[in-house]
Amino acid sequence: MNTLLEQIVTDCGHYASQGQVAHYIPQLAVVNPNKVGIYVISENGENFHAGDCFDTFTMQSVVKPLILLLALMDSGSEKVRALVGVEATGKPFDAFNYSDQALTGANINPMINTGAIALCTLIEGDTYDIKFARLLELARKLAGNDELDVDESVYLSEKETGNKNRALSYMLKAYGLIDDPVEEILDCYFKACSILVNCKDLAQIANVFAHHGRNPATGEEIFSKEFARYVNATLATCGMYDGSGGFALNVGFPAKSGVGGGIMGVIPNRMGIGVFAPALDKHGNSVAGVEMLKRFSQVMDLSIY
């Protein structure tokens, strides 16, 4: 398996030249665009990897499935569905124009910015510092890594320049979808996006989702099968932004990307995958990352369709 992954990294590395790192967050603009790594954890706990898989990067939107999961665990699926929908928007992840009608929760989903920001309000905690601390604790547990923490420089960079997310949040507030102070919600959201991980961490998290909430390494049931189905189904339809349909066709399993260059791939009942390649396509997905997952899926026959 390692030989296969090394070959995939070698074959797909050149795709990085077709993309660009995220420039709208200053700290992401300085990342080396030529980094490429992949990590796979199989159903029996075997670990395989190649390339720059131990380089760290911030989760960015890869944290959205965890925000959704914690909102489900804290508030239940009924409250989550009342706040945000599950249909793909067909719009960029930071778009304003989701509908010709007045904005409702049905127009957005948990894998775009507005949906994830709204779901922060359903996480339990008397303050947003407590809400974030609980989210970070969940990320550490799923990854099996107690050292996960926030990249302070990226967090401050997002906080300083994240005016589009402020605009989206005030839009949510204007339509009555959130009530809490925008800056407090966004502080939680910016910190969540700035959690520092590597490909192994993403593969570990994905492997728990792949096994319906059970950590196959320890046997612990971290969350219910019901919530695993909810998250995985949402990843399958919405996880790769407005490139989700093409990804489903060409790769064929639930996944979540982030503009930090990471992608978390969930192959139900089989394995978890983490990839990193920070040069992005027009959708905000890793160019080389998608190509690596496509090659791996074809060779291993991983498409769930």
Using the structure block, give the residue that is written with the tokens 């974030």: 132
Using the structure block, give the residue that is written with the tokens 């706990």: 45
Amino acid at 241: Y
Which residue in the list 35, 64, 191, 200 is annotated as catalytic?
64
- Find out whether 192 and 67 touch, Cβ atoms under 8 Å: yes
196 alpha carbon, distance to own chain's centre: 12
Q: Based on the residue annotation, tell me whether 91 is a catalytic residue of this protein.
A: no
Which residue in the list 86, 259, 275, 287 is annotated as catalytic?
259
Torsion region of 205: left, alpha or beta (phi above 0 gives left; psi -120 to 50 gives alpha): alpha
Spatial separation of the C-alpha atoms in residues 24 and 164, rounded to whole Å: 10
H/E segment holding residue 100: none
Kindly state the DSSP code that residue 150 receives in the 8-state scheme: B
* Residue spans of alpha helices (H) in 28-181: 64-83, 113-119, 128-143, 152-161, 163-174
Q: Which of 249, 234, 227, 246 lies closest to 285, judged by CA? A: 246
Which residue in the list 35, 39, 61, 86 is annotated as catalytic?
61
Which residue in the list 39, 155, 189, 230 is annotated as catalytic?
189
H/E segment holding residue 65: helix 64-83
Q: Based on the residue annotation, tell me whether 64 is a catalytic residue of this protein.
A: yes
Which residue in the list 241, 275, 286, 297 is annotated as catalytic?
241
Spatial separation of the C-alpha atoms in residues 194 and 151, rounded to whole Å: 6
Q: Based on the residue annotation, tell me whether 9 is a catalytic residue of this protein.
A: no
Q: Which of 253, 191, 152 lies closest to 59, judged by CA? A: 191
Active site residues: 61, 64, 189, 241, 259
